[in-house]
Every structure is written in structure tokens, then in C-alpha cells.
A and B are shown apart, each in its own frame.
Chain A
Amino acid sequence: MADVQEFLMFIVGFLMYKELLKLTEHLMSELTPEPDSTGGEKPKKLTEHRKSLMEENNILTNLPVDVLELITKGLSINDYLALRAVCRSCRKTISNSIENKRCFHLPEMPQVFLRSKYSRYFFSLSKKKLHHHRLATPPLRYTEKCIGSIKGWLIMIDYSKIDFVKFFFLNPVTDVKIMIPSKLFLPTYRHSTVGGNIKPPVIKMVASSKPNCDSFSDGHLVGLFRDYCHIAIYKLFEKSWTIVESDKDSTFLNMEIIGTKLYVIVSDDSSQKVLVYCLKDSINGPPKAKVLAECPSISPSISEWRLSFLSKDEALRELYLIYVFYYAVPLNGNRHAAPGLKFLSECGEPAQVTKIQMFKLDTNKDPIEWQNVQLEDRVAFVSNLCNIVMSRDELNCNKDLTRGNTIYFALHCRCTNPWQGLRLGMFCLTDSSIKYFPVEKSKHDDDIAYRNPPVWFVPNLL
């Protein structure tokens, strides 16, 4: 047996090196002593012989796919996708790889998704700039809005109809849409009309996993209603929606799903706490909540506001509580959305982030408490609609770009000048320093700032 194997290996080796002999012969003859810096055009008419040699000796097309993957592994998504335009055979290889979910490229840094009426904008951390994509595909409709994100997918709501809303996932890199089959009917919660504009009834949504992976069919979606008193839970397996109402005089603020547990921040007049719902066993009616822990009561100072977010470290399945404090002076009093829930109405001056704090649960204490933490070698991305905590190793970037123990924020606080309402920047937990990223006003789309609150997402092909 071993002899046959060895013999076969020898044959393969022999054939391989015959191929490569031709290849290197060709390469040696093509190599010029100095690289042609003028980039002169190749003569238009290649002789047949040279043409066929070139085809045969083409690294890109003749190398086995797993060897090519070693090269593409070091390329960013941009460069990886650009390979499809090199030649037909390249295009085929790359398209096949994407289809087989075997596309290897460098992991991307999270970007901020913003939209205006006609375009999608992305703020890239590596370039610290807004760039936008005028796509050949039709732009998002007026009644489609992004209300969350998970990995490389944006969670979108379609609120074009009066009686129900639909949701879908959108991958902005590949433009693939995955629809959620069941409509969510709105029995008593009508669209609120403010100044003639119809607003989406569900303002935020989280998902248990990204849409095209195996665990998705068992997963959940949870959406927060505009009244802050109701959440809608969707079980993908049963294709059914359940609506849960908050207790009297308390409101839901934010939520996060880890596995089959749903964590929700509720607020009433006196305090905030985190509730946990077990999504798995809700055979008899809607899931019941258990109080997980009271939120640390760190009150904002005068003219300071506090936002409370939940986030998770996907890899470690740990829950974080994030407080963002910012200083803002409202122009005309405050907006009351619900009992105990005061919202900042429009400000004249842009909001200033004063500090950000992160907490993790300390299960050793009884009752369970939150403890202030440092991120160390992890990085957090905070926005109104989506919060991500990642390890620096997962990020492809110049290591100077993401220092550890740093929180990147993309917040929107209403301001008379909408562009100034966009606050993008970074907060360092070590020394509490803040740096803002300038967002230049775009020539074309003035309504970018309030068309959609900013959302972090991690560009990905899958």
C-alpha cells in the first residue's frame, strides 16, 4: 500500500514540477531587469503561442483554491471583491468561494451606517472619513429604516403599511436581503404622526444571531416599540410574534439577547434595573421576567443626561451595561415620551460626551451587583441602536487605530443643525479622554443626520 502511495506521489510530484518548469521558464523570460515604471500597454496583438503560455502560466487561475486562499486571507474585503474584476476565471473562483461560504479575507473594523434619502453613507474608522455609495441598486425606500445590526447585517423595518410592519436583514456589502416571513400586526399602537411624517412604530431591534447561519432558525428577534412600553418577541422556529407589556409606570429602555436569554433595561421613577426573560420556555403565554440586578445609580449632574445601553461580548457571552453621560442644554424644554422617561428635545449646541462607564455583573456578591470594569485589550462600539464589544485581535487594523480600553461612539442627539447632532468619536477608559472625529457636511445630502440614527456594523461578506 505504502509503495503505491509513494509511487503516486512521485508521479504527482513529477507532473507538478513539469508544469512549474514551464511556468518558471515563462516567468524567467518575462522578467525584465527593471520593473517597467511607465506602465506601458502590452502590445495589443499577442501571438497565439504567448497567449496560450500566459493562460497556462497564470498563477491566479492555475493555483489550487486553498493556495489562493492563503493570499486572499491577507486582503481586505475591498481588495478581495476587486479580484472579481480581474478576469473571468478569477471572478468564478471568488464567486464560488463566497457561495460556499469559504471566502477568506481580513476581518473588517466596524463602520457606522448612516443614510440619507438617496444614498447610504459609511463612516470608516480606518480612514476617519465618511464615504458614500451611489449604488446601481435602488436606494432604500423612505419607509425603510435601520433599527439595529448584528455582525455584518443591518436589521431593517419596512413600515410602509398602516396595519402591520415587516422586517428584513440587509447586508450592505453584498446587498443581499433576507426577509422575516411574518408580519407584525399593530392592533392598538398606531403610527404616531409628528408634523405630518409617519414614524416607524418599532424603533430598535436585536437578534440572537445573524440570519444565514445554522443557529438562526432557532433564534429570536426582539423589537422595542416607540411607546417604550411594549416589546415584540419573534420566535423564528414558530414564526410567531408575542407582545410583552411593561409594568405600570415603568418603561423599557434597551435590550440585548445572549443565547436564549433576553436582557432588558427597565426604568421607573426611582431607578433602573435589568430584567431577564428566558425565551426558551414560553409555552404558556409570554415569557416572564426575573429581576437580574438594579442598575448602578450614578446620577447625571445638572444639564447632564445619561443613556443606558446593554451590550455583549459575543465570544465570551458576557453582558455589559454601558452608561454614556453627555452634556446638553435643550432649547425648548423636554419631551416626555412616557411616565418617568424624559427625552432631550432639540439643543442649540451640539451635545458633549462627558464620560462613559462600563459595567459587568459580579455574580459573587449577593444580591448581584454591577461592577465598573476596564476593557483592557477589548474595544467597545456604542451607538443608539447597536453596541458591540470585541477583542482587538478580531479587528483588522493598524494597531494604533484601536487602542485597547477604548470606546468608540456614534451617537445622535438632536440639534438645530442636524450635522452637529452627529457625535462620532472615541473615549479612553484609562484617562477619560475624548476625541471627536470630524464629520464633514456632505454637499449633496443634508438630511443624513436625522434620516436614521447611526448604527455600528462589521462589514462582512457572509
Chain B
Amino acid sequence: MAQEASSSTSSKTISLKTGDGEIFEIEASAAKQMKTVQRLIDDLGDDITIPLHNVFSKELPKIIEYYKKDITGEITKDFEAEFVKDLNDDEVKVLFLAANYLDANKLFEFLSQNIADRLESKSVEYVRKYFGVENDFTPEEESKLREERAWSFRGIKEDE
């Protein structure tokens, strides 16, 4: 959805500095979509470079790319498919966290759906590995769990 650019910020760009020291420019109207950035702008003013300690040069360009398309109203299913096509699971996770930190709703929801798609029909071990979670069940508990709901443990895809 194209965001109506307010007259005062229509052609302004904001400088964002990543945690690893790189600086990227985005349009002010795109920055408005990332609530965290907007808050920092409101506090620090839009003239200075906004520091984003938790976002790094690897992912910020992707995020900027997404919102560049968003403000011109060009986000289509095809664009979204292309956007995530070459990302591996970890990259999606990092983007997801960055979008959460930046409070960038649209991107965040889109990535949530993508993560859900990547987890579809995967085994429990795969999900654990994906989120970096330890299995804290005892072997007995675990075998009981597997029997518990037959709905859950059928039709598992092979781990990729």
C-alpha cells in the first residue's frame, strides 16, 4: 500500500547506521513504516544519522529494498516470492528479528508467513535446529509425546 508522503518529508532521506558501522539512506516515507526508526527520528531529529545497533549491513539493504517497493505500492506476490527465494533459513530468521526490532509491521508479517511455510510438515528435530532450541524432554517423555497425538506425527517431510 502506498503511503501518503507528507509534504514536509516527501523527498527527504534519512541516514541509517548499522551495528557494524555502515551507513544507508532511505526515504523518509519508508522510514515511517519502521516504527522504531520513526521513534528515533522523533527523538533525535531527522538530520543526524540514526544508529541501529541491532541491524547489520547484511540485512538492512534487503529491508530497505522491501520498503522502497512498498511506498510505490508495487509489492506483489511475485515480488515477495522473489524476495525470499534465495534466502536461506538463517537469513530469514535474521531478517525476521530485524523487522521485529525495527517494528516494521508489513515486512514482519510477511516474514512470519514465510517462516511458517518453511516449517510446514517438518520434523520436530528440524524445528529445534531451526530455532536453536535444546530438547529438554527426557527420552521417556519424548516417546510418550510422539504417541500422544497421532495427528502431529504423520506425513512428515524429509529434512532438507
Which residues of chain B from 96 to 148 have any CB-CB distance to chain A below 8 Å in the complex?
96-98, 100-101, 108-109, 112-113, 115-117, 119-122, 124, 127-129, 131-137, 142, 145-148
Asked if A134 meets B115 with Cβ closer than 8 Å, knowing A24-B56, A78-B155, A87-B133, the reply is no
> Would you call A11 an interface residue if the criterion is a C-beta within 8 Å of the partner chain's C-beta atoms?
no
Contacts of B93 in A (CB 8 A): 27, 59
* B25 contacts the other chain (CB 8 A): no
Structural contact, B89 and A58, CB atoms closer than 8 A: no
Interface bracket on B? 35 or more
Cβ of B47 within 8 Å of any chain A Cβ, yes or no, is no
A58 B124 Cβ-Cβ under 8 A:
no
Chain A nearest CB: distance from B152 CB in Å? Answer: 4
Is B90 an interface position by the 8 A CB rule?
yes
Q: Chain A residues in contact with chain B, CB under 8 A? A: 6, 9-10, 13, 16-17, 20-21, 23-24, 27-28, 30-31, 35, 37, 39, 46, 51, 54-55, 57-61, 63, 67, 70-79, 81-88, 90, 127, 131, 133-136, 173, 459
| Interface residue B76 (Cβ < 8 Å from any Cβ of A) | no
In contact, A35 and B89 (Cβ under 8 angstroms): yes
The 8 A-B pairs with the shortest beta carbon distances in the complex, nearest first, are A74-B116, A133-B150, A70-B112, A81-B152, A82-B152, A74-B113, A85-B145, A20-B54
Cβ–Cβ contact A71 & B134, under 8 A: no
- Does B13 count as interface, using CB distance less than 8 angstroms? no
Q: Chain B nearest CB: distance from A43 CB in Å?
A: 12
Which one of B96, B120, B137, B153 lies within 8 Å of A76 (CB-CB)? B120
B142: nearest chain-A partner, CB-CB: A85
10 examples of A-B residue contacts, CB within 8 angstroms: A27-B90, A31-B94, A75-B120, A76-B120, A78-B151, A79-B122, A84-B145, A87-B128, A88-B136, A173-B149
Q: Are A57's CB and B134's CB within 8 A?
A: no
Contact B127 A82 (CB under 8 A): yes
For residue B117, which residue of chain A has the nearest CB? Answer: A74
Q: Are A51 and B133 in contact (CB under 8 A)?
A: no
Q: A58-B131, A82-B153, A87-B128 are in contact. Are A70 and B109 (CB under 8 A)?
A: yes
A459, B124: Cα distance in complex, Å: 21
A127–B122 Cα gap in the complex (Å)?
Answer: 16
* Neighbouring A residues of B97 by C-beta, 8 Å: 20, 23-24, 27, 59
- B150-A135 in contact (CB<8A): yes
User: Is A13 within 8 A of B39, CB to CB?
Assistant: yes
Query: Which residues of B sit under 8 angstroms from A63, Cβ to Cβ?
Result: 100
The answer on a CB contact under 8 Å between B150 and A71 is: no
Is B77 interfacial (CB-CB < 8 Å)? no
Within 8 Å of chain A (Cβ to Cβ): is B86?
no
For A84, what are the chain B residues with a Cβ–Cβ distance below 8 Å?
145, 152
User: Which residues in chain B, 27-75, are within 8 Å of chain A measured between CB atoms?
Assistant: 36, 39, 43, 53-54, 56
- Among B133, B142, B160, which residue has its beta carbon within 8 angstroms of that of A58? B133
A79 touches B120 (CB 8 A): yes
Is B8 an interface residue, CB under 8 A from the partner?
no
A273 to B28, CA, bound (A): 67
Is the CB–CB distance between A24 and B133 below 8 Å?
Answer: no
Q: Is B6 an interface residue (CB 8 A)?
A: no
In the complex, residue of chain A having the shortest beta-carbon distance to the beta carbon of B121: A79
Q: Decide if B146 touches A85 in the complex (CB within 8 Å).
A: yes
Residues of chain B with a CB closer than 8 A to A459's CB? 151
B88 located at the interface, meaning its Cβ lies under 8 Å from any Cβ of chain A in the complex = yes
How far, in whole Å, are A57 and B116 apart by their CA atoms in the complex?
A: 20
- Beyond A61-B133, A85-B124, list 15 extra A-B contacts (CB 8 Å): A10-B39, A20-B54, A21-B54, A27-B94, A37-B160, A54-B133, A59-B131, A59-B132, A60-B133, A75-B116, A78-B151, A78-B152, A79-B116, A133-B154, A134-B150
